[in-house]
Amino acid sequence: MAAPPLPCPGVAVIGGGPAGLMAAEAALAAGVAVDLFEVKASVGRKFLLAGRGGLNLTHGEPRPGFDRRYHRGGGRVAEWLDDFDATALRDWAHGLGIPTFVGSSGRVFPTDLKAAPLLRAWLARLKAQGLRLHVRHRWAGFEDDGTVRIDTPQGPRRLEAAAVVLALGGGSWPQLGSDGAWLPWLAGRGAPVQPLEASNCGFEHAWSPHLRERFAGAPLKPVVAHWSTIHGEARHRQGECVLSEYGLEGGLLYAIGADLREQQRRQGHALLHLDLLPATPLATVEAALARPREGRSLSEVLRRRLKLDGAKAALLRERLEPAALADPVRIAAAIKRLPLRLTATRPIAEAISTAGGLCLDGVDAGLGIRALPGWFACGEMLDWDAPTGGYLLTACFASGRHAGRAAARHAAGAATLP
């Protein structure tokens, strides 16, 4: 027996994260009815979790520098930002009664740093505008006849809508709803997809038991990373990272992760060099280590003369063999350029975000899926990539608005999809 219909006279949005909610808002503003379907018992769960330590809503970096943060799909993301950039996002938040400020790092936060008040105000406004919200409703793919199945608390239903916006996320934090199950469903209908891969994630390095037990969780700050791009160009960047039980993690790794992942794909590992004392020239380090120790241990010399101790000193000892630890020149060289061989990224489920997904050449200018007329996609399920710092969230909002507007235009003149 065929599943009973689940009618949606306008736009059906599947996924209740920031991209999906923004798509719903854009379609409602165009005068089209919207039903939003969310697999969990409430919307915005990943958004709330990401904001638990302070919601980084966007970034104050001006364009076009802002656009260059997108490692994949930067040209397409720029089109979305032309319509809804970081300034527009801050104005939008202010319209919800949520003022923002720019922190010392350029990151933009709500003044109370919290995600929950913004989400509550947003949902209240969406419902006042007529949003029909359906929680515990999961898209379960296509039936053999091409109809769309939605699993509901009352059993399977057949979705009927004038347009569909997919905002299903990537594959990170699957316990919050974004599990990537949609990839084979879209691929089966002819949409081009790429496998999901971890982004904004930690990288693995095999530490000794001593380093893991004594220093897992210790910060390394500040340090300068040196690495090569996929084109062999030498790059460097200052920042902070953390020694983890499995390797390294933190903002510095997230910022350069796209190049490190490409190295791993091409040669099976990524090579990273860390400058442990970025404010101290090599000549100064060499001179400090060349002076007689006067009975002091190497650890004491490093601490007293160079202020190098704790996790940084332990990392230095980890990477240098005994002969090198007796040579001041080799120690100095390692302090300024310590080589680390990163063997893998951490699993997708642990990552902050994912790259891969629905290829951008598989969607048109309005983010309509070329293989599925009347279907649109937005947010992290599209194959673009960016570091943390507000760039991810901004593109999710902007793409949702872009897709929602296009879906509303389609729905206004379209018959109901099967």
pLDDT given at position 72: 86
Q: What share of the chain is helix, strand, coil (3-state, %, to 5)?
A: 40, 25, 35
pLDDT in tens, the chain (418 residues): 568 999 899 999 999 999 999 999 999 999 999 999 999 999 999 999 988 889 999 999 999 999 999 988 999 999 999 999 999 999 999 999 999 999 999 999 999 999 999 999 999 999 999 999 999 999 999 988 888 999 999 999 999 999 999 999 999 999 999 999 999 999 999 999 999 999 999 999 999 999 999 999 999 999 999 999 878 899 999 999 999 999 999 999 999 999 999 999 999 999 999 999 999 999 999 999 999 988 899 999 999 999 999 999 999 999 999 999 999 999 999 999 999 999 999 999 999 999 999 999 999 999 999 999 999 999 999 999 999 999 999 999 999 999 999 999 999 986 555 4
Indicate whether 417 belongs to any domain: no
198, 354 Cβ separation under 8 angstroms: yes
Number of domains in the chain: 2
Q: Does residue 208 share a domain with residue 194? A: no
> Within this chain, do residues 207 and 172 fall inside the same structural domain, yes or no?
no
Beta pairing class for 34-38 and 100-102: unpaired
Domain extent for 371: 5-199+350-412
- List, in sequence order, every beta strand (DSSP E) within 115-218: 132-135, 138-142, 148-152, 155-166, 193-199, 203-204
Quick one: 187 and 218 in the same domain?
no
Q: Do 30 and 171 belong to one domain? A: yes
- With 0-12 CB in 10 A as exposed, 13-18 as middle and 19+ as buried, what is 70? buried
- Between CA 222 and CA 211 the distance in angstroms is 19
**Which pLDDT score, from 0 to 100, does residue 51 have?**
86
d(CA 212, CA 222): 20
Tokens of residue 50, six digits: 């990401």
Number of continuous H segments (helices) and E segments (strands) in the chain: 14, 19
What distances in angstroms separate CA 198 from CA 15, 245, 258, 347, 391, one per listed residue? 20, 18, 10, 7, 17
Same domain? 183 vs 216: no
Of the three residues 299, 326, 345, the one that is the final residue of a domain is 345
Does 418 map to a domain? no
Quick one: 97 and 229 in the same domain? no
Structural domain includes residue 299: yes
Which residue among 319, 345, 371 closes a domain? 345
Domain boundary (301, 328, 345) is at 345
Task: Specify whether 120 is located in the same domain as 61.
Answer: yes
Within-domain flag for 181: yes
Token pair for residue 271?
């090579």
Asked whether residue 256 is assigned to any structural domain, the reply reads yes
Residue 152 lies in a domain: yes
Residue 34: give its domain's CATH number: 3.50.50.60
Looking at the structure, do residues 247 and 195 belong to the same domain, yes or no? no
- Whether 88 contacts 403, CB under 8 Å: no
**In a domain? residue 134:** yes
> Phi and psi at residue 359, in whole multiples of 5°?
-65, 140
Do 260 and 241 meet the contact criterion of CB atoms below 8 Å apart? no
CA distance 321 to 327: 10
**Residues 256 and 325 reside in one and the same domain:** yes
CA distance 330 to 286: 9
Distance, in Å, from the CA atom of 357 to the CA atom of 384, rounded to the nearest integer, reads 8
Q: Report the relative pairing of strands 5-14 and 155-166 from DSSP bridges.
A: parallel
Predicted TM-score (pTM) above 0.75: yes
Residue 103 lies inside a defined structural domain of this protein: yes
Q: 141 and 214 share a domain?
A: no
